Each structure stands twice: as C-alpha cells, then as structure tokens.
C-alpha cells in the first residue's frame, strides 16, 4: 500500500482531533445552546491567532474500559492566541468528549499552558465545561486538580486569571475558578456547586434544582461567586475581551493605556447640583461616575451583588482605573459584610496589577444590626480596611457627601496613605450625623431643658452641623487636600493621576500579611 503523504496524514489527524466527540455530540451541544470548545476560542481570540498545543496528547488509563476509548485532545483544547493584539494563554474544555472530564493528561495540558503563562507573563483564560474529575482515573484525576490549584495560587497576583463557566463545574473543580481573579457565567447553561441537588437532598433534605443551587443568577446575586453573567456563549466571550482591555498582561506590565478621545478638561456643570439638599435623600452614584469617566463608560463588576458598593473599571484620559464607590441608593451606602468582601477583593486585584484606584465616598458608616455583628462584621469589615491600608497603587478619594465614622478612615483616607483626598462642598466629615451626635454629647442638657428640649436640640444640631457637617474642618488639618467644585472633578482627577504615574511606595518586607480571613 502506498504510504500516505506525511503532510496529508498530519492534516487528517488534526481534522479528526478537531472533530472532538463527533457530529452527534456536537449537535447535542448546539441544541443546549452551547458552542464547541473550538468555536468558543474562535470568538474569544482575534481571528486566525489561535495556536493549539498538545492536541495529540492521549490518556494512559486502562481501567473501566478506557483502554479502548479515544478521547480527542483528552477533552481539552489548549494553546495561546491574541485578544486585541495581546497574547493570552487559553484552555477550553470539550464537553463533547467524555463530558470534558479531567483526567491526568487533561490536567497536565492545562498545567503546561499555565506554566508557560507564568514564564511569559501572560494572562490565562479558562473556558470550563466539564463533568469534573474523570471517575475512571481515580486519584490521578483528583491530583490533577490539585496540580492546577497550586498553579492558580502561584499565578495569583502575577498574571490575570479569568474563568468562564460555560457548562457544568462541580465539586472540587469549582476551586480552580474560585482561585482565579474573575468568574464569568453563562445564564441558563452553566452551573457551579460543591455537591449537586441530589446529594443536597440526601444530606440536608433541601429540594433545589441546578439553577437555584448554582446557576448564573444565584452566583451573581446571592453568593457573589460570579463577577459577571451574560445571556449566551457569544456575549459572555465578548465580555472577556472587554474585560481584558482594562488589564495589564502581568504585574510588571503597565496597564493598557489608549489614545484619549474624551477631553481631559471637560467640566460637568450638572455635578454642582447633583447632591440632594436633604442629606437623607438617596441618589445613584453611577450618575456621578458616568459624568466623570471617559465617554461615561464603566465596566461594573459584581453589579447585582452587594449593590451598596459599586466597583468596576473605567478609563480616565485613556488610562484604565479601578473605581470603588459607596452607593447611597442602596442601604444608604453603608458598608456591610458583603460589601466589605466585594470591595476588598477588588482593591487587592487593582493593587496586584498596578491599576490606580479612585474612591467615591458617601458613607454613613458600617451597617448596624445584630445579624451583621453576629456574622462578624468586625472581622469581615476589616478586610476592606486591610486591603486599602496595604495598597501601594495611586489612590485618590472624592467625598461627595458623608464621610462618617470608621468608614471615613477605611475608604482611602489620608491617614491610610490616600494620595489625593478631595471633597465636594457638600461633604461632611464627622464621627456621626448631627442628630445622633447631639443626643449623646448634650444628653444631660437636653434632659434638663424640659419643655425647651426641642429648641435646645435644634440649636445644638445647628452648632454641630456648622462645625462638622462641612469638609472644611477636615481640610483645616490637611486631611482633605482640597475642596473642589464638583464640575471640575474629571480634570482634577486626571491631573492627579498624571502626577501619580510613577508613584513609588512599598510595604515592610514580610512573607505575607495576615489579612483577617
Ligand atoms: C467520567 C463522566 C463524568 C465523570 C460525565 N461523564 N461526568 N465520565 N467521570 N465525572 C461522562 C458520561 O458518562 C458521558 O459519557 C459523558 O461524560 C457525557 O455525560 P452525560 O451524563 O451524558 O451528560 P449530561 O446528561 O449533560 O450530564 C452532565 C453531568 C453528568 C451533569 C455533568 O454527567 C454528571 O452529573 N456527571 C458527574 C458529575 C460529578 O459528580 N463529577 C465529579 C465531581 S467531584 P459517554 O460514555 O456517554 O460519552 C470532582 C472532584 C474533584 O470533580 C476533586 C478535586 C479536588
């Protein structure tokens, strides 16, 4: 028989591997509204840039009939390509081949690109769609996950790691995404849980379906496990590209600055009147942010979780910045346990990857209540404080209204190394609001006032307000660098950011800090 042309044979082999689990399995995948591993990579990466690695790797398992079972690419497509012209490493699990399960070889392929990513200083983007540890491979599969977890942890803070959940992600498999920086979930087709609905029912007698236990809605609203959700594979992968546009490639790489197309000196007169006269009246902090950042565009993270704190990325003068803002429209902008954790995670990400941080502050304090206390708001609230104290990136604060109590300290006050702290004329920097303060410090006088109690109280409230319910008391000590006209916030921030471009600051040498966990 004539020998087949080697190049032609190579082409055929490649084509066979690319077919994954075959036509029927691919059709089933499509029927579920899911794309294949390769189709996903085509959408994620710039056209024609994907370079596949290890496509001929096979498993070595002989048990449970596996010897006869061929699993193309061992159920995961790995390699590298480009997003907007910048290199990234990728893996994409192929559910059409034995449910995208992870065995020894599958894990080794992922580890190999993670090692390369660390060596090259490039992000890792993982597309997860898998039945989890390949049962037939026993501890080799379990250990394979551990090999990945170790690499996730070593890469943390060195290169950005993004996990996209596009199908099942169960059991120990969830801990690799959990160790990465961002988790995106596809609505209705993805779910994450430690144990599925059947086990839950057996152990706790709770009846819940896949979606309710660990769907995109649950993890974006209740648990906060997911940072983003989108409706299908296409929009979710497009979002990964949007997210990447704000991120540096590694912790030594400068953030991706683009040529600015929005006027750095743009003033926004509407900001002068945006704060309601009544200090208890809410407003949406996003209406302020959108008037300040380039073209009003912000990529909000954890948008449906702990909505009393808004975090996300935007650009100022073409430079990517992290934004953290208390949200007066939800829980009056108080910081509760969930907001503290959400904020701390975000501040630490920005600090790891040298993204300047802008804080917008209108905070009446930490959220009071028995539940919060019993759940440990002392410890949990300290997370955000620790993150801010530790951060050495450029840090700028704008106090729009309240800067009350301990929350004033936490939100990048001057005392914890805020580089520039600005206040609007509507700002109030005080231990607490006037009404509550007067009840405490003038209690005896109010008790003695008898029928005049209301008149005395009003007088004392006015006195307190004149002293503390302004930014000028704090500014007189230099704790506020300047009281600015709200309309000039954008030019002020941009000017400060330009100055801080080469900021150098470090913490004492240590193995690692001990954040209150
Ligand atoms: C081996 C598996 C598998 C697994 C699925 N398959 N999960 N093979 N190990 N963990 C195989 C199926 O036998 C089937 O093989 C193919 O993949 C497709 O699976 P289906 O069940 O037909 O698909 P579907 O109906 O869509 O259901 C998908 C599923 C279900 C919900 C994921 O397969 C399932 O519940 N699998 C088990 C999930 C699980 O418990 N995993 C272990 C988690 S614990 P054929 O022959 O038809 O191609 C874990 C520990 C990690 O991961 C430890 C780290 C510390």
Cα-to-centroid distance, 462 and ligand 1 (Å): 68
171: annotated active-site residue? yes
CA-98 nearest atom, ligand 1: 17
The answer to whether residue 8 scores a pLDDT higher than 90 is: yes
Q: Kindly report which listed range (8-17, 117-126, 299-308) carries the lowest average pLDDT score.
A: 8-17
Q: In ligand 1, which atom is closest to the CA atom of 69?
A: 46
Query: Do 81 and 205 reside in the same domain of the chain?
Result: yes
In the chain, count H helices and then E strands: 20, 17
Which atom of ligand 1 lies nearest, measured to the CA of 170? 43
Mapped to the 3 state alphabet, what secondary structure does 7-68 carry? HHHHHHHHHHHHCCCCHHHHHHHHHCCCCCHHHHHHHHCCCCCCEEECCCCCCCCCHHHHHH
Instruction: Name the token pair of 445.
Output: 């006088």
- 307 and 353 in a single domain? The answer is yes
Six-digit token pair at 486? Answer: 């709200």
Mean pLDDT of 264-293: 96
Domain containing 457 equals 434-468
Segment holding 168, helix H or strand E: strand 168-170
Q: Are residues 51 and 189 in the same domain?
A: yes
Residue nearest to ligand 1 atom 17, measured at CA? 99
Helix (H) or strand (E) holding 387: helix 377-390
Is the pLDDT reported for residue 292 higher than 90? yes
Q: 147 and 107 in contact (C-beta within 8 Å)?
A: yes
476 and 357 both lie in a single domain: yes
Residue 183 to residues 69, 157, 311: CA-CA distances in angstroms?
32, 16, 15
**Mutation pick for ligand 1 pocket among 132, 141, 192, 198 (CB with most ligand atoms within 8 Å):** 132
Name the residue of 30, 64, 131 whose CB sits within 8 Å of the most ligand 1 atoms, as the mutation to test its pocket. Answer: 131
The Å distance, Cα 308 to ligand 1 centre, comes to 39
pLDDT recorded at residue 29 = 97
**Which residue out of 75, 81, 167, 171 is catalytically annotated?**
171
Does the pLDDT at position 68 exceed 90?
Answer: no
The whole-number pLDDT of residue 63 equals: 82
352 part of a folded domain: yes
In this structure, the residues whose C-beta lies within 6 A of any atom of ligand 1 are 98-99, 101, 131-136, 142, 145, 168, 170-173
Nearest CA to ligand 1 atom 46: 98
Residue 253 lies in a domain: no
User: φ, ψ for residue 468 (rounded to 5)?
Assistant: -105, -25
Q: Which of 66, 94, 99 to mutate to test the pocket of ligand 1 (most atoms within 8 A of CB)?
A: 99
Q: Which of 244, 278, 300 is the last residue of a domain?
A: 244
Counting the structural domains of the chain, the total is 3
- Cβ atoms of 102 and 144 within 8 Å: the answer is yes
CA of 30 to the centre of ligand 1 (A): 18
- Averaged pLDDT of the chain: 96
Q: How far apart are CA 318 and CA 261, in angstroms?
A: 8
Distance CA 380, CA 345 (A): 12
- Are residues 328 and 375 both part of a single domain? yes
Hey, whose CA ends up nearest to atom 15 of ligand 1? 98
Ligand 1 centroid to residue 206 C-alpha, Å: 23
Do 238 and 328 lie in one domain? The reply is no
Annotated active-site residue 403? The verdict is no
| 152-172 average pLDDT score | 96
Tokens of 481: 């660098």
Q: How far is the CA of 444 from the centre of ligand 1 (A)?
A: 70
Our answer to whether residue 172 is catalytic in this structure is yes
Q: Are 74 and 221 contained in the same domain?
A: yes
Using alpha carbons only, how large is the chain's radius of gyration in Å? 27
Say yes or no to pLDDT of 375 above 90.
Answer: yes
Q: Measuring CA to CA, which residue among 90, 216, 225, 111 is closest to residue 161?
A: 90
Q: Whose CA is nearest to atom 47 of ligand 1?
A: 98
DSSP code of 301? E
Least Cα distance to 418 among 347, 491, 330 occurs for: 347
Could you report the per-residue pLDDT of 187-242, keeping only the tens digit for each? 999 999 999 999 999 999 999 999 999 999 999 999 999 999 999 999 999 999 99
Cα(102) to centroid(ligand 1), Å: 10
b (16+ CB within 10 A) / e for 5-20:
eeeeeeeeeeeebbbb
Tell me, what CATH number does 193's domain have?
Answer: 3.90.226.10
- Cα(355)–Cα(485) distance, rounded to whole angstroms? 26
* Judgement on whether residues 395 and 444 belong to the same structural domain of the protein: no
379-436 pLDDT, tens digit per residue, is 999 999 999 999 999 999 999 999 999 999 999 999 999 999 999 999 999 998 898 8
Cα 91 vs. chain centroid, distance in angstroms? 21
Distance CA 137, CA 141 (A): 6
Look at residues 244, 261, 292 and tell me which one is the last residue of a structural domain: 244
pLDDT score recorded for residue 443: 93
303 DSSP assignment: T
Q: How many Å apart are CA 244 and CA 183, to the nearest integer?
A: 13
Per the domain annotation, does 505 fall within a domain? Answer: no
Residue 1, pLDDT above cutoff 80:
no
Q: Same domain, yes or no, for 385 and 365?
A: yes
Instruction: Report CA(134)–ligand 1 centroid distance (Å).
Output: 7
Give the residue whose CA is nearest to atom 38 of ligand 1. Answer: 131
Within a 13 Å sphere around the CA of 307, how many CA atoms are in the beta-carbon half? 10
Is the model's pLDDT at 467 over the cut of 90? no
The stretch 162-171 carries a mean pLDDT of 96
194 plus 334 within the same structural domain? no
52 pLDDT above the threshold of 80: yes
Q: Which atom of ligand 1 is nearest to the CA of 25?
A: 48
pLDDT at 282: 96
Residue 196 Cα: closest atom of ligand 1: 40
* pLDDT above 80 for 2: no
252 occurs within a structural domain: no
Tens of pLDDT, residues 313-340: 999 999 999 999 999 999 999 999 999 9
**DSSP 8-state secondary structure symbol assigned to residue 195:** S
Cβ(239)–Cβ(230) under 8 Å? yes
Q: Considering only CA atoms, which residue is closest to atom 37 of ligand 1?
A: 131
* Residue 371 resides in a domain: yes
Q: Which atom of ligand 1 is nearest to the CA of 133?
A: 52
405 is known as an active-site residue: no
User: Cβ distance 216 to 190 under 8 Å?
Assistant: yes
Determine the average pLDDT of the residues in 144-149: 98
CA 12 – ligand 1 centroid, Å: 29
3-state secondary structure 239-295: HHHHHHCCCCCCCCCCCCCCCCCCCCCCCCHHHHHCCCCCCCCCCCHHHHHHHHCHH
Answer yes or no: are the C-beta atoms of 347 and 388 closer than 8 Å: yes
| Pair (292, 388) in one structural domain | yes
**Is 260 a member of any domain?**
no
| Six-digit token string for 422 | 């600005």
Domain assignment of residue 314, yes or no:
yes
Domain presence at residue 249: no
Q: 238, 406, 436, 449: which one is catalytic?
A: 406
pLDDT value at residue 370: 97
Q: Where are the beta strands (DSSP E) in 142-235?
A: 161-165, 168-170, 182-186, 191-193, 228-230
* Residue 67: pLDDT band with limits 50, 70, 90: confident
375 and 459 in a common domain: no
Both ends of the chain: CA-CA distance in Å?
A: 68
């Amino acid at each position: 028989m004539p020998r087949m042309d080697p190049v032609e044979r190579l082409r055929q082999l490649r084509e066979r591997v690319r077919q994954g689990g075959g036509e029927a399995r691919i059709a089933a995948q499509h029927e579920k509204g899911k794309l294949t591993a390769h189709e996903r990579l085509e959408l994620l990466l710039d056209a024609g840039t994907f370079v596949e690695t290890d496509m001929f790797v096979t498993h070595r398992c002989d048990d449970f009939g596996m010897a006869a079972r061929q699993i193309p690419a061992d159920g995961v497509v790995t390699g590298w390509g480009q997003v907007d012209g910048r290199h990234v490493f990728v893996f994409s699990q192929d559910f059409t081949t034995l449910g995208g399960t992870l065995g020894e070889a599958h894990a080794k392929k992922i580890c190999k690109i993670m090692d390369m990513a660390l060596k090259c200083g490039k992000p890792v983007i993982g597309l997860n769609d898998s039945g989890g540890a390949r049962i037939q491979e026993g501890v080799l599969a379990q250990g394979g996950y551990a090999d990945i977890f170790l690499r996730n942890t070593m890469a943390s803070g060195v290169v950005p790691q993004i996990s996209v959940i596009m199908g099942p992600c169960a059991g120990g498999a969830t801990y690799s995404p959990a160790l990465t920086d961002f988790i995106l979930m596809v609505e209705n087709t993805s779910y994450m849980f430690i144990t599925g609905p059947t086990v839950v029912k057996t152990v706790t007698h709770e009846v819940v379906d896949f979606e309710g236990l660990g769907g995109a809605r649950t993890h974006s609203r209740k648990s906060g496990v997911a940072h983003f959700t989108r409706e299908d594979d296409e929009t979710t992968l497009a979002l990964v590209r949007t997210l990447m546009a704000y991120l540096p490639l590694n912790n030594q790489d400068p953030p991706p600055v683009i040529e600015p197309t929005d006027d750095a000196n743009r003033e926004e007169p509407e900001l002068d009147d945006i704060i309601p006269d009544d200090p208890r009246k809410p407003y949406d902090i996003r209406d302020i942010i959108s008037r300040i950042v380039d073209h009003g565009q912000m990529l909000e993270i954890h948008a449906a979780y702990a909505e009393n704190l808004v975090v996300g990325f935007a650009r100022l003068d073409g430079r990517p910045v992290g934004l953290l803002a208390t949200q007066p429209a939800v829980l009056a902008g108080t910081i509760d346990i969930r907001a503290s954790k959400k904020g701390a995670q975000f501040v630490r990400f920005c600090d790891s990857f040298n993204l300047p941080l802008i804080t917008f502050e209108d905070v009446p304090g930490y959220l009071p209540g028995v539940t919060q206390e019993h759940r440990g708001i002392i410890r949990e609230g300290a997370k955000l404080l620790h993150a801010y104290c530790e951060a050495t990136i450029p840090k700028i604060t704008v106090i729009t209204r309240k800067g009350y109590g301990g929350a004033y300290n936490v939100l990048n006050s001057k005392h914890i190394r805020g580089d520039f702290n600005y206040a609007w004329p509507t700002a109030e920097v005080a231990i607490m609001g006037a009404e509550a303060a007067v009840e405490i410090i003038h209690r005896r006088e109010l008790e003695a006032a008898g029928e005049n109690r209301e008149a005395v109280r009003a007088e004392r409230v006015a006195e307190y307000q004149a002293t503390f319910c302004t930014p000028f008391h704090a500014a007189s000590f230099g704790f506020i660098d300047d009281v600015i006209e709200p309309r000039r916030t954008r030019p002020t921030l941009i000017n400060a950011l330009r100055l801080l471009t080469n900021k150098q600051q470090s913490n004492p040498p240590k193995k690692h800090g001990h954040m209150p966990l």
